[in-house]
């Protein structure tokens, strides 16, 4: 039996029930965060909980638990479930709305779910993606709105791609669930600085990259992407994943490049050090 956090309590999964009048269901108003466990150890939980509270405050949602209370409730849920290599999804919704539009008393829940590992070939050989002209609403907030990404799934699958890269009039932002980077012909790592969710993986990877490479967080146009030596994405489950084909254009020689491979190695080492210290 699985246990979830629901408002202030740990309950059986089947008892975690959000009212149908919740603003998340009626209007898509809510925020979330997601982190993974390696073995039984949560990875970067403090960063994820901080971002969860930042997202909540941007959308004027009051969490019923404080940060330390939330972390200790999550740990209790994990203790009860004891599933290895799982993920934790924290959600805070607009709550049951008195009139179907104004914010109610937010509903908090946390789900502990198994994670299916991504195929190793995605990391070793790279992935193919397509593009779409779209900018997420309030992109700096991790909202529950993944409408465009899910809507685009049939097109993504028809192109034998893994995901969709968003741009607005050619200016790149991010993918549905990951941040985006190129390595340009000068060897610099370039990544968009605005119109994005600041990923926790992005923060860690850029920190590691700064010791070895020039890092440029600035506006990035699709033309520059096609001319890049390498491209890659980062995210909680995707870690550092090479991108070798965009809309049918090969990036560089169509194989993961040395900079991407170095970052994969540095990030893996960083995770192992982090877990060793926790
Ligand atoms: C829109 C968006 N951008 C970027 C990311 C990557 O963030 P993180 O590295 O914290 O997983 C996510 C994560 O799900 C996301 O939803």
Q: Which two tokens stand for residue 192?
A: 């968009």
**pLDDT score of 149:** 97
Cβ atoms of 236 and 271 within 8 Å: the answer is no
Mean pLDDT for all residues in the chain: 97
* Digit-coded pLDDT (tens) for 187-205: 999 999 999 999 999 999 9
Supply the residue whose CA is at minimum distance from atom 15 of ligand 1.
177
Residue 144 has pLDDT above 90, yes or no: yes
**φ, ψ dihedrals at 151, nearest 5°:** -60, -35
> What band does 276 get if pLDDT is binned at 50, 70 and 90?
confident
Q: How far apart are CA 178 and CA 21, in angstroms?
A: 31
Distance from Cα 8 to the centre of ligand 1, integer Å: 26
Pocket of ligand 1 (CB under 6 A): 34, 142, 174, 177-179, 197, 199-202, 234-236
CA distance 206 to 56: 25
Tell me, what's the pLDDT at 222? 98
Share of the chain above pLDDT 70, in %: 100
Q: CA 13, CA 29: separation in Å to the nearest integer?
A: 22
Residue 277, pLDDT above cutoff 90? no
Instruction: Tell me the pLDDT tens digit for each residue of 3-13.
Output: 999 999 999 99
pLDDT over 90 (residue 137): yes
Which of 46, 178, 198 has the most ligand 1 atoms within 8 A of CB, as the residue to mutate? 178
pLDDT > 80? residue 220: yes
**What does the pLDDT read at residue 196?**
98
CA distances from 169 to 78, 147, 222 (A): 44, 20, 9
Strands (E) located in the chain: 3-6, 9-12, 30-38, 41-42, 86-93, 108-114, 127-133, 163-168, 171-175, 179-183, 189-191, 215-217, 230-235, 239-246, 249-250
Q: Give the distance (Å) from ligand 1 centre to CA of residue 145.
A: 12
Give pLDDT tens digits for 92-115.
999 999 999 999 999 999 999 999
User: The pTM is what?
Assistant: 0.97
Distance CA 242, CA 122 (A): 8
Residue 17 has pLDDT above 90, yes or no: yes
- For the beta carbon of residue 104, count every other beta carbon within 10 angstroms: 18
pLDDT tens per residue across span 240-258: 999 999 999 999 999 999 9
Residue 164: Cβ-neighbour burial (10 angstroms; 0-12, 13-18, 19+): buried
Tell which one of 179, 191, 204 to mutate to probe ligand 1, the residue whose CB is within 8 A of the most ligand atoms: 179
- Which residue's CA is minimally distant from atom 4 of ligand 1? 178
CA 99 – ligand 1 centroid, Å: 32
Q: For the residues 41-61, what does the mean pLDDT come to? A: 98
Q: How far is the CA of 273 from the centre of ligand 1 (A)?
A: 22
């Amino acid at each position: 039996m699985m246990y979830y956090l629901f408002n202030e309590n740990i309950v059986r999964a089947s008892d975690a029930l959000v009212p149908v009048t919740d603003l998340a269901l009626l209007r898509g108003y809510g925020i979330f965060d997601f982190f993974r466990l390696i073995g039984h150890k949560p990875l970067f939980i403090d960063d994820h909980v901080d971002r969860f509270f930042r997202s909540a405050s941007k959308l004027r949602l009051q969490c019923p638990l404080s940060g330390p209370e939330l972390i200790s409730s999550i740990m209790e849920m994990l203790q009860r479930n004891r599933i290895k290599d799982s993920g934790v999804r924290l959600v805070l919704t607009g709550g049951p709305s008195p009139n179907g539009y104004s914010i109610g008393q937010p509903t908090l829940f946390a789900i502990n779910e198994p994670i299916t590992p991504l195929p190793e070939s995605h990391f070793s050989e790279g992935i193919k993606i397509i593009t779409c002209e779209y900018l997420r609403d309030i992109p700096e907030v991790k909202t529950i709105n993944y409408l465009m990404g899910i809507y685009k799934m049939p097109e993504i699958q028809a192109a034998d791609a893994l995901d969709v890269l968003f741009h607005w009039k050619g200016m790149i932002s991010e993918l549905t669930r990951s941040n985006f980077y190129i390595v340009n012909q000068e060897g610099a790592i370039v990544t968009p600085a605005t119109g994005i969710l600041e990923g926790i993986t992005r923060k860690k990877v850029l920190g590691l990259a700064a010791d070895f490479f020039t890092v440029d967080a600035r506006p990035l146009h699709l033309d520059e992407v096609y001319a890049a030596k390498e491209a890659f994405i980062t995210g909680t489950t995707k870690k550092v994943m090479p991108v070798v084909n965009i809309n049918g254009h090969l990036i560089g020689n169509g194989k993961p490049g040395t900079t991407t491979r170095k970052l994969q190695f540095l990030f893996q080492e960083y995770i192992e050090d982090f877990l060793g210290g926790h």
